[in-house]
């Protein structure tokens, strides 16, 4: 029996990396009956057949899963941001971080184009909030090695607004990765096509990388359907204050005696993070309860 990770799924075939090679597997009939669809990123067992082919036997338990892109078992969401054109809106960072936190996926913030614009405020915001944060220039190579060490051995999904330097960073991390800038999406069959393929790549440092669509489509659909009172737990730096508010069930928006608001005022919680929280909270509040129960 073999075991590995699905790196690619195409036309009913699953390409499973078992650490040595890519085995072309077909799913057995039971996957069709059980409504259990193997995802890229799934750890699977398979029965080896002739000449590098196999039959998928089982999907091992998932650590997490995302719909857009359809991928499972992401250890680390690598968010590429920039203070230079195109400037990254912190709200978009906070939104994907909140999704990742809710699914037990760690986030790392990489602030690229540091050579053009040292975005110290952005850097400080995420460092202070408790994330691994990196100052990087894909152009000069600054910070690239440190980023490489941070993602080594992990299954990572890269995301960020278009033009922020995702392809450039992957090329800097792995010079023979061979992506022309702006090519990530094309190589993965997006942009020109409507279907969203996602594919994993192994880097030499052992990192396994999935390129994901930009922030705007990264699993944010339906996010506002989450219960508003759950949102507070996806802002990690709020944690020490959550049980110190004067009133139980405090929304941490504008309540009197709110310990979160006091921490914002004292500078212990970055203001822009709290602003993002309020925005997401209000979006979630607008959804009527009956609609939420459909989820
Ligand atoms: P993607 O859309 O996120 O994949 O972005 P690209 O990697 O295609 O980069 C967009 C543009 O920004 C290209 O012209 C890159 O050469 C440029 N670029 C990327 N990273 C840096 C950087 O750190 N510094 C500078 N000066 N330019 C960069
Ligand atoms: Zn509060």
Spatial neighbors of 29 by CB under 8 A, at least 6 apart, are none
| CA dist 169 → 66, 92, 181, 206, 274 (Å) | 23, 20, 9, 16, 29
Q: Sign of the CA dihedral 96, 100, 105, 106? A: positive
Q: How confident is the model at residue 77 (pLDDT cuts 50, 70, 90)?
A: very high
Residue 195 is predicted with a pLDDT of 43
| Ligand 1 centroid – CA 53 distance (Å) | 39
pLDDT tens digit string along 172-197? 998 776 655 554 544 443 443 334 57
Residue nearest to atom 11 of ligand 1 (CA): 163
Quick check: 258 and 246 in contact, CB under 8 A? yes
Question: pLDDT-derived band of residue 214, with 50, 70 and 90 as boundaries?
Answer: low
- At 94 the pLDDT is 96
The model's pTM is 0.90
Q: Is 267 exposed, middle or buried (0-12, 13-18, 19+ CB in 10 A)?
A: exposed
Q: Which residue has the higher pLDDT, 65 or 135?
A: 135
pLDDT for residue 224: 65
Identify the residue whose tokens are 């699953």.
14
Mean pLDDT of 195-208: 84
Cα 234 from Cα 240, distance rounded (Å): 13
Q: Could you report the per-residue pLDDT of 88-126, keeping only the tens digit for each?
A: 999 999 999 999 998 899 999 999 999 999 999 999 999
Average pLDDT for the chain = 88
Kindly report the protein residue whose alpha carbon is nearest to atom 18 of ligand 1. Answer: 165
Closest listed ligand to the CA of 251: 2
Mean pLDDT of 244-262: 97
Residue 151 has pLDDT above 90, yes or no: yes
In this predicted structure, the answer to whether residue 219 has a pLDDT above a threshold of 50 is: yes
Radius of gyration from C-alpha coordinates of the chain: 21
d(CA 275, ligand 2 centre) in Å: 14
β-sheet with 208-211: strand ranges across: 132-135, 106-112, 76-82, 155-160, 208-211, 200-202
Separation of CA 266 and ligand 1 centre (Å)? 36
Question: According to the model, what pLDDT value does residue 68 have?
Answer: 80
Please give the Cα distance from 66 to 204 (Å, whole number): 25
Q: Is the pLDDT confidence value at 245 over 50?
A: yes
Q: Does 86 sit behind a cis peptide bond, omega within 30 degrees of 0 on the bond before it?
A: yes
CA–CA–CA angle 70, 75, 77 (5° rounding): 70
> In sequence order, what are the residues at sequence separation of 6 or more whose Cβ sits closer than 8 angstroms to the Cβ of residue 51?
none
* pLDDT the model gives residue 294: 61
Find the residues whose C-beta lies inside 6 A of ligand 1: 112-113, 115-116, 137-139, 160, 162-168, 181-182, 184
pLDDT band per the 50, 70, 90 thresholds, residue 35: confident
């Amino acid at each position: 029996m073999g075991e590995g990770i699905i790196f690619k799924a195409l036309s009913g075939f699953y390409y499973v990396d078992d650490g040595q090679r890519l085995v072309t597997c077909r799913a057995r009939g039971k996957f069709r009956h059980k409504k259990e669809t193997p995802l890229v990123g799934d750890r699977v067992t398979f029965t080896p057949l002739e000449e590098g082919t196999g039959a998928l036997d089982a999907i091992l338990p998932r650590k997490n899963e995302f719909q857009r892109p359809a991928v499972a078992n992401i250890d680390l969401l690598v968010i590429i941001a920039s203070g230079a054109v195109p400037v990254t809106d912190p709200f978009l960072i906070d939104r994907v971080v909140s999704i990742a936190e809710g699914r037990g996926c760690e986030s790392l913030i990489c602030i690229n184009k540091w050579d053009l614009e040292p975005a110290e405020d952005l850097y400080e915001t995420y460092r202070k909030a408790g994330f691994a944060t990196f100052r990087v220039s894909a152009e000069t190579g600054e910070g690239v090695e440190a980023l490489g060490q941070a993602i080594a051995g992990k299954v990572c999904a890269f995301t960020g607004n278009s033009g922020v330097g995702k392809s450039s960073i992957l090329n800097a991390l792995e010079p023979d990765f061979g992506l022309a800038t702006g090519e990530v999406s094309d190589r993965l069959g997006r942009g020109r096509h409507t279907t969203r393929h996602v594919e994993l790549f192994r880097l030499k440092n052992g990192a396994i990388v999935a390129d994901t669509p930009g922030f705007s489509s990264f699993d944010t659909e339906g996010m506002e359907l989450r219960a508003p009172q759950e949102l507070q737990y996806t802002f990690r730096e709020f944690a020490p204050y959550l049980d110190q508010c004067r009133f139980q069930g405090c929304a941490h928006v504008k309540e009197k005696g709110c310990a979160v608001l006091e921490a914002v005022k004292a500078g212990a919680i970055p203001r822009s993070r709290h602003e993002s929280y309020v925005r997401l909270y209000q979006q979630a509040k607008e959804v009527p309860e009956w609609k939420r129960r459909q989820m």
